[in-house]
Chain A
């Protein structure tokens, strides 16, 4: 079984698969983290999250940190010898415990080569989602890099395994992007992977700020995959809220339970959890395990809908319009994506990358619904309901960014 098959198999038997974002520089700790994930009382898959130097390809800085004993915020898979990584995985990676490498790189070739050498074949990202929010790599270069990385990953089929790729497009900037554009980018990246030859693909969506709108988004994602990727083995992965987490443990637990509810009600097969410590620092292994077990227990206590929603409503209509407009731009999808950003058919609010048009704007309603306030050249004229407003200032931005923290902390503030 590969990563995708395993997730769908566990889900078909009633479990929501849960996954941490864990990554440690020290191989012993990394191995302990994977073992603890595997042994948690939950249907889990493992994670090796890489450090930020490896993400940007600064292998000298990663090497320097390793030699000097300077703390890294993840596992430097390219710098560690392949035998070290194989030893980390030995007796951990198994048919019933696939491991995914998480990175965030717009230049992922070295990372893909390293994970393949170590015997792994599941990772994530995408030409848009690991480029625009995270650096200065030109989009066209990221598209070319990701095409080459897909080709490299396909070589693992020689070993009889089916590689798996997950889109990160549903998590763009984590916050304040209206869900329809998140869904559209996630689907476009999945189509990109599929056209490159991948057959096992998952599509992501990050919990935003309004449960009803989030449910529409996850439904839209499932529907668009069924319509546009009928031949692929796909599943949906929900990310627990990625922005500022509540400061109270009770508030954080309620927020993360909401993420579980979204995954279960939306028919998603996998959930990336967050920990209550996240608001302060990088969480420990024990905190990760607690988050996995809490999510799994919450999911078990929650009945699955007999007949999950199928329409996706307004989010579906907008996402479909964006995807179609992008696909119409050029026969080659990589080229079509680059053109779409140049023309503003894709335009992510608040994204400061030079290749993002930066003419669209969004706003949080009182009930947490994300609305468009300016469309720029997004192909949503006549379709999206516009709420024109004055430009957002720093105080209002901070207020929008802390909406979730404030809302979920409010009932528990005596704890602080």
Chain B
């Protein structure tokens, strides 16, 4: 997977030197298990994780990313609103001071139907996500490769 993001040259690290990550859903999505799983997965990839949980309002997400300056932001959506929520949220994140180059990925079930998947993914990538995973069997493996290939570079 290729990416256009620039790594933050000084991503925030936790006290014990691990890079930090934010795991979050978006405003309308109430699902939890995806977030519990992603927290464990991202921790196992070497990050210290802040899990903002389900139904995170846009403003809170932007604010938390600005305060924490994580090395990676992982957004998850499984309620079928991921496409429109993602387009809205990425605009706000990229528009916020200091967040233009932060690695931000989105994954899950992004639409209410299985149609137009490729178009949705392309549009979300164009809008500013570094990687988009639309409910494919190899999504987790691609995500691991993305993290290994891009974010690990920024580790202290």
Which chain A residues have a beta carbon within 8 Å of chain B's beta carbons? Answer: 51-53, 55-56, 58, 61, 65, 70-73, 104, 133-136, 173-175, 243, 280-282, 350-354, 392-394, 397-398, 401
Contact = CB atoms under 8 A, between A and B. Distances in A.
Given A72-B112, A73-B81, A393-B44, 8 more contacts: A53-B81, A55-B30, A71-B80, A135-B55, A174-B33, A350-B32, A353-B53, A398-B37
Contacts, number: 88
B114 to A, nearest CB: 6
Contacts of B27: 56, 58, 61
A56 B113 CA distance: 22
Contacts of B56: 136
Contacts of B44: 393-394
Given A71-B112, A134-B54, A397-B40, A104 B30 contact: yes
Contacts of B148: none
B111 interface: yes
Interface residues of B, number: 29
A354 B55 CA distance: 13
Interface in B29-47: 29-30, 32-33, 35-37, 39-41, 44
B30 A52 contact: yes
Interface in B110-124: 111-114
A135 to B, nearest CB: 4
B84 interface: yes
A136 B30 CA distance: 10
B37 A352 contact: no
B79 A52 contact: yes
Interface of B: 27-30, 32-33, 35-37, 39-41, 44, 51, 53-57, 60, 79-81, 84, 109, 111-114
Interface centre among A136, A354, A394 (most CB of B within 10 A): A394
Chain A binding site: helix, strand, loop or mixed by DSSP? loop
Q: For chain B, what secondary structure do more than half of its interface residues adopt (helix, strand, loop), or is it mixed?
A: loop
29 contacts: A51-B28, A52-B28, A52-B79, A52-B81, A53-B28, A53-B81, A56-B27, A56-B30, A58-B28, A73-B112, A133-B32, A134-B30, A135-B30, A135-B53, A136-B53, A136-B56, A136-B60, A175-B33, A281-B112, A281-B113, A281-B114, A282-B113, A352-B32, A352-B36, A352-B39, A352-B54, A353-B53, A392-B40, A401-B33
Contact of A73 (B32, B36, B53, B80): B80
A354 B56 CA distance: 13
A282 B55 contact: no
B33 A352 contact: no
Given A282-B112, A352-B53, A52 B29 contact: yes
Given A52-B81, A134-B55, A394 B28 contact: no
Nearest to B109: A281
Contact of B32 (A72, A104, A173, A398): A173
A401 B37 contact: yes
Contact of B36 (A51, A52, A397): A397
A56 B33 CA distance: 19
A394 B41 contact: yes
Contacts of A354: 53
A351 B28 contact: no
A282 B111 CA distance: 10
A173 B33 contact: yes
Given A353-B53, A392-B40, A398-B37, A71 B30 contact: no
